[in-house]
Amino acid sequence: MIELRTPAEIEQMRPAGAFVARVLQATAAAAKVGVNLLALDRLAHEMIRSEGAESCYIDYHPSFGASPFGKVICTSVNDAVLHGLPHDYVLRDGDLLSLDFAASVDGWVADSAISIVVGTPRDADLRLIETTTRALDAGIAAATVGNRIGDISAAIAAVAHADGLRINTDFGGHGVGRTMHGDPHIPNNGRAGRGLPLRDGLVVAIEPWFLLGTDKIFTDPDGWTLRAADGSRGAHMEHTVAITDAGPVVLTARS
């Protein structure tokens, strides 16, 4: 079911968005060469406890997950692009790390993701992150009252296709509110002018993610982590956005 939020409810979602942004900034800053992924998960967990927030991930068990997630942040490295389950891995120089985090504050959820390079960057990784960031910006710019879901999807796809990237539509953006994942689904490829009309009060997570060499993925033996079928690297960017008559409002904006 698609729900529309009042202006007062959107204001009530701001603390969740600000908290999610702070956690991503803190974990990204802590992601140095020699740091274990489990340490990043502990940092996020400590921030959840100290702020009185609730994890959206730790007990999360959708149909595509092998078991409850069991951690509070997704840490996807190199050829892993989505749902990376934190494990005993020490970050190395040049790793491409995607962090995806969602939490509930006072009953409202926000969801966001960022990709960074740990240590010495590869030019190709920086270009991929830059493209994914531009795709997110394009999707947000299209999230205006009077447009349709397809306009967001088409805006994201135009950026990816211009840089020669293929697009997987199995996972994409989604509604956000009292729960982490709701309607509508927002694929990262689509036709402008098609799909659900965008109305004032719709709150969605817009999340382009791309792989350098393929649009095919497979699931790790851990039952969660999604990897590129050809071993190429991936990047993932996401913001929670409120669609309003005054324009899109990014609730998870990072300072």
255 is a domain residue: no
For the annotated binding site for substrate, the residues are: 83, 181
pLDDT higher than 90, residue 63 = no
2 is a domain residue: no
- What is the predicted pLDDT for the residue at 66? 86
For the annotated binding site for a divalent metal cation, the residues are: 100, 111, 174, 207, 238
Number of domains in the chain: 1
Average pLDDT over residues 56-85: 95
pLDDT tens digits, one per residue of 17-35? 999 999 999 999 999 999 9
- What is the predicted pLDDT for the residue at 172? 97
pLDDT tens digits, one per residue of 191-220? 999 999 999 999 999 999 999 999 999 999
- What is the predicted pLDDT for the residue at 125? 98
146 is a domain residue: yes
pLDDT tens digits, one per residue of 82-126? 999 999 999 999 999 999 999 999 999 999 999 999 999 999 999
Average pLDDT over residues 54-83: 95
d(CA 183, CA 185): 5
| Percentage of residues of the chain with pLDDT beyond 90 | 97
33 is a domain residue: yes
- Assign 224 a pLDDT band (cuts: 50, 70, 90): very high
pLDDT higher than 90, residue 255 = no
99 is a domain residue: yes
The overall average pLDDT reported for the chain is: 97
Average pLDDT over residues 47-56: 97
For the annotated binding site, the residues are: 83, 100, 111, 174, 181, 207, 238
- What is the predicted pLDDT for the residue at 64? 85
Pick from 221, 223, 210, 237: which is nearest to 79 by CA? 210
Average pLDDT over residues 57-80: 94
pLDDT tens digits, one per residue of 139-177? 999 999 999 999 999 999 999 999 999 999 999 999 999
Where in the sequence is the domain holding 32, given as residue range(s)?
A: 7-250
- What is the predicted pLDDT for the residue at 218? 97
d(CA 218, CA 239): 25
65 is a domain residue: yes
- What is the predicted pLDDT for the residue at 1? 85
1 is a domain residue: no
Domain containing residue 111: CATH number? 3.90.230.10
